[in-house]
Amino acid sequence: MDKEFEEKCLLTRNVTLEPTVTEVKDERSKQFLAEQHKGNSEYFLECAKNLLRSTTPLAAVLIGHFAMEHKGNQLLALHGYKVESHICTQIGLSRIVGRKDLAKKLSDIFTLRQSVGYRLTLERSDESRIEAEKIMNETVIPFFEEVEKLVDKVNQ
């Protein structure tokens, strides 16, 4: 047995995690961080849309998740938080922004991302394209639109 594999993969480990959220108080830093997340969210959204037209449309679900997460983090940055954890993005949307519905959508896309990412039966098919398009149109794009409205309100 390989010692490193055994220690890191087969044995129980205790891990200490550092905080995954940092408060940001400076207004310029908030805006800068929000702009970074905005750029990333738009990049991933465009990538996901492109994947819908490719031979690997289900990959759009994986990328769509990251687009949504960055969009949520954009909003949280404007509220003064730098978030580096998907679960904290969900909690922040629910508790800081007061939008449990958006947190639920982010949770749902995370579950879908895992479902697609760990499938053993990925295939190129019309059904896959239809499934991916439905997820994009019913989850990813509406999330983006709703968060953008909230971003606009904060920036007013």
Q: What is the pLDDT of residues 99-137, one digit of tens each?
A: 999 999 999 999 999 888 777 677 777 888 999 999 999
H/E run at residue 72: helix 59-78
pLDDT value of residue 37: 98
H/E run at residue 60: helix 59-78
Rounded Cα gap, residues 80 and 130, in angstroms: 38
Residues of the chain with pLDDT under 50: none
pLDDT value of residue 126: 82
pLDDT value of residue 120: 65
